[in-house]
């Protein structure tokens, strides 16, 4: 199973009342177990309370804490869950602030806090000793001998590898979790007691996010709550679960009752990122210590209720504000890249074919922004509409209106006669509407555009997008080719939002209305004759499938190397309200077959900028043989 349910818990405590504290801890363990949690992290020193101060030197408190751990061990027998409890440990006359790691009634190991804060409001060194040098050590506890003790412990169950650090450890220059991650730990637990100051929670959150990103790991953070002593400080019970830089769950601080937050961690995704990240692999060679793996077995990893959010549109931010920010950034990348190409070639003219469809519209908007930035007149943008057998009045008029309103040099070249002549030249029956019929038109248009680019001394700007490249939905040496391709790493689902962004934020009323109508027009190459009503007869998504599905497949196939089974599982979760299993399987098979068989087109792509995390450039992100078999992925 790729996913594991984890939790961060904050118990309601009484300072130094170990019996009461352990009762609360056990009640939360019970709740987490009923919720199918497999990994649960509690705050730092939660058996005693973090704020016990000089009472930590009292044998009564330390013995009570040991007894509390024994009670938790006894209660956890038979519980299929790894539990991390914060408690003090007296060993060789030295007191350590530790994480006790418990599974099914057994103490698997004890991890000491590596770094002890002793500045501003913290004076932990008055009681505790740092543990960063403790490695390859064993102790006895509760008549259990040879218990692993040290900062070098990783607890492993199959692909799930757990490492631990405690509060201040995260705030240091090189947190112990960095070493643990390089040693294999993909889920880090932090048992913390971080007090509240104005805006401190923001910094704490950024630490958790950034460390999970640097370590390519999950990070489960549980901090002490409001019932710690308030003699000088206030703790808020801040809890977070992060995965590779993203906060999956976070509680509302300052809660006064027992609380747990849960999330599902995608360990397959984390392991995939590590496998691909060469810098992570190279860092492993510099690892300064050898870890000890403590093996245990989580027995039941089935998840009855899968409640992790799976984004059906992974290329498009769901948050409106973030989407607008990303749209601005994408346009900046596209326009800056295109500007460099114009400056390098000293060209002052752009040539583009305008169909009235989404992709050519986006490419034109990029050219306009680039020319405005370079202070080149828009009249130097040569826009050419080339009506053919399938061109409808709607797309034709939208193309004309858009080019006129944007102030471009608009030209019209009808390709019907040229296509008919070519049919005659090659001996093709014009009534046979096959791939030859379609590709003749696509190549005729590209020939016209290339030759005009030569004639005008300009650059032909390509319009094809990432989704079409993934499916090979383009004509080889037709619309597949250009002198620079500005949309090559932008998927169809994102193209829509970029055009919509310009329509809503940066357009005159006439341009906005045209863009909105283009957005509402069915996606089509318009290479087959119109229907009897003069409407589009050839709808791309009827032939190759919904682009939102293909973009979803593409993201998980390329980004994480997901198998067909995993992609299907995720798609069924993401699109459970939109498509049935049979439909998703049908288009997933179509995607995989086309992705493999159409690689030869991607092997000959023109230059174009990478915008997001996925690109299919043969010079960068995808070095794939054109004749690879798809059998392993389909069968």
In a domain, 313, yes or no: no
What average pLDDT score do residues 185-209 get?
A: 97
Q: 222 and 163, same structural domain?
A: yes
Check whether residue 277 and residue 397 sit in a common domain: no
Domain boundary among 245, 262, 295: 295
pLDDT in tens, 406-463: 999 999 999 999 999 999 999 999 999 999 999 999 999 999 999 999 999 999 999 9
* 376 and 280 within one domain: no
Answer yes or no: do 282 and 409 share one domain. Answer: no
The pLDDT tens digits for 314-333 are: 999 988 899 999 999 999 99
359 in a known ligand binding site: yes
Residues 273 and 355 grouped into a single domain: no
Q: CB of 11 within 8 A of CB of 19? A: no
Least confident of 55-64, 182-191, 371-380, 524-533: 524-533
> For the chain, what is the mean pLDDT?
95
Q: Is residue 305 part of a domain?
A: no
CATH number at residue 514: 3.40.50.620
pLDDT band at 525 (very low <50, low <70, confident <90, very high): confident
Do 14 and 116 fall within a single domain? yes
Q: Tell me: the pLDDT tens digits for 467-495?
A: 999 999 999 999 999 999 999 999 999 99
Do both 291 and 345 map to the same domain? no
In this predicted structure, what is the pLDDT of residue 506?
86
As for how many domains the chain has, the answer is 2
Q: Does position 1 have pLDDT exceeding 70, yes or no?
A: no
Residue 251 lies in a domain: yes
**According to the model, what pLDDT value does residue 567 have?**
97
Same domain for 406 and 278: no
Residue 587 belongs to a domain: yes
474 is in an annotated binding site: yes
Do residue 475 and residue 553 come from a single domain? yes
Alpha helices (H) in 147-193, listed in sequence order: 176-182
Q: What are the two backbone dihedrals, phi and then psi, of residue 470, each rounded to the nearest 5 degrees?
A: -60, -40
561 labelled ligand-binding: no
Query: Of 295, 311, 337, which one is at a domain's C-terminal end?
Result: 295
Q: Is 353 known as a binding-site position?
A: yes
Catalytic residue ranges = 44, 113, 167
| Lookup result for tokens 């009570």 | 64
Query: Given pLDDT bands bounded at 50, 70 and 90, which one contains residue 537?
Result: confident
Q: What percent of the chain has pLDDT over 70?
A: 100
Contact between 201 and 251 under an 8 Å Cβ cutoff? The reply is no
Residues 222 and 329 in one domain: no
What is the C-alpha separation between 208 and 85, in angstroms, rounded?
Answer: 19
Q: Please report whether residue 63 resides in a domain.
A: yes
Query: In the 8-state DSSP scheme, what is residue 607?
Result: P
Q: Any binding-site annotation on 547?
A: no
312 within domain boundaries: no
Q: Within a domain: residue 303? A: no
Q: What integer pLDDT is reported at residue 144 of this predicted model?
A: 85
User: Is 626 annotated in some ligand binding site?
Assistant: no
Round to whole Å and give the CA distance between 304 and 297: 19
pLDDT in tens, 566-599: 999 999 999 999 999 999 999 999 999 999 999 9
- Shared domain for 229 and 331, answered yes or no, is no
Query: The domain containing residue 234 runs over which residues?
Result: 3-295
CATH of the domain at 250: 3.60.110.10
Give CA–CA dist 238/223, Å, rounded. Answer: 5
């Amino acid at each position: 199973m790729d996913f594991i349910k984890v939790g961060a818990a904050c118990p309601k405590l009484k300072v130094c009342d170990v019996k009461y504290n352990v009762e609360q801890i056990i009640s939360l363990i019970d709740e987490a177990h009923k919720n199918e949690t497999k990994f649960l992290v509690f705050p730092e020193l939660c058996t005693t309370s973090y704020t016990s101060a000089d009472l930590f030197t009292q044998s009564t408190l330390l013995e009570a804490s040991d007894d509390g751990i024994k009670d938790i061990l006894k209660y956890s027998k038979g519980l299929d869950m790894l539990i991390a409890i914060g408690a003090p440990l007296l060993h060789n006359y030295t007191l350590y602030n530790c994480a006790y790691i418990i599974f099914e009634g057994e103490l698997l190991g004890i991890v000491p806090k590596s770094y002890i804060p002793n500045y501003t409001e913290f004076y932990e060194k008055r009681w505790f000793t740092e543990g960063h040098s403790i490695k390859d050590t064993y102790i006895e506890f509760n008549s259990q001998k040879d218990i692993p003790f040290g900062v070098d412990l990783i607890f492993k169950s199959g692909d799930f590898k757990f490492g631990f650090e405690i509060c201040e450890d995260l705030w240091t220059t090189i947190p112990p979790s960095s070493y643990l991650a390089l040693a294999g730990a993909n889920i880090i637990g932090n048992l913390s007691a971080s007090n509240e100051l104005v805006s401190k929670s923001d910094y704490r959150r950024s630490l958790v996010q950034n460390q999970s990103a640097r370590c390519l790991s999950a990070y489960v953070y549980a901090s002490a709550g409001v019932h710690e002593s308030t003699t000088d400080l206030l703790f808020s019970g801040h809890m977070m679960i992060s995965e590779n830089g993203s906060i999956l769950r976070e509680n509302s601080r300052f809660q006064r009752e027992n609380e747990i937050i849960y999330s599902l961690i995608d360990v397959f995704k984390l392991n995939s990122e590590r496998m691909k990240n060469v810098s992570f692999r190279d860092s492993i060679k510099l690892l300064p210590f050898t870890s000890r793996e403590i093996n245990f077995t989580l027995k039941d990893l089935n998840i009855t209720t899968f409640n992790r959010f799976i984004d059906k549109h992974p290329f498009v931010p769901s948050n409106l504000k973030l989407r607008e920010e990303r749209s601005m950034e994408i346009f900046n990348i596209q326009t800056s890249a295109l500007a460099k190409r114009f400056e390098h070639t000293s060209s002052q003219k752009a040539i583009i074919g305008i169909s009235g469809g989404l992709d050519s519209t986006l490419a034109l908007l990029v050219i306009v922004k680039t020319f405005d930035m370079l202070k080149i007149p828009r009249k130097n943008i040569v826009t050419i509409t080339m009506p053919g057998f399938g061109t409808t009045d709607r797309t034709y008029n939208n193309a004309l209106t858009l080019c006129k309103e944007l102030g471009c040099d608009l030209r019209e070249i009808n390709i019907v006669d040229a296509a008919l002549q070519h049919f005659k030249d090659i001996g093709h029956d014009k009534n046979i509407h096959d791939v030859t019929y379609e590709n003749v038109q696509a190549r005729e248009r590209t020939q016209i555009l290339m030759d005009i680019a030569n004639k005008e001394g300009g650059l032909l700007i390509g319009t094809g997008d990432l989704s079409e490249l993934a499916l090979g939905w383009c004509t080889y040496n037709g619309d597949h080719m250009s002198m620079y391709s500005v949309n090559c790493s932008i998927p169809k689902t994102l193209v829509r939002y970029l055009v919509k962004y310009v329509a809503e934020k940066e357009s005159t009323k006439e341009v906005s209305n045209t863009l909105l109508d283009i957005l509402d027009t069915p996606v089509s190459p318009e290479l087959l004759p119109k229907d009897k009503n003069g409407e589009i007869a050839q709808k791309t998504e009827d032939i190759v499938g919904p682009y939102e599905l293909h973009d979803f497949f593409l993201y998980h196939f390329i980004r994480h190397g997901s198998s067909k089974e995993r992609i299907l599982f995720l798609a069924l979760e993401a699109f459970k309200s939109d498509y049935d299993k049979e439909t998703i399987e049908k288009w997933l098979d179509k995607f995989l077959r086309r992705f493999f068989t159409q690689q030869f087109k991607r092997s000959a792509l023109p230059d174009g900028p990478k915008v997001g995390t996925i690109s299919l450039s043969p010079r960068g992100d995808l070095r794939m043989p054109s004749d690879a078999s798809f059998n392993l992925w389909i069968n």
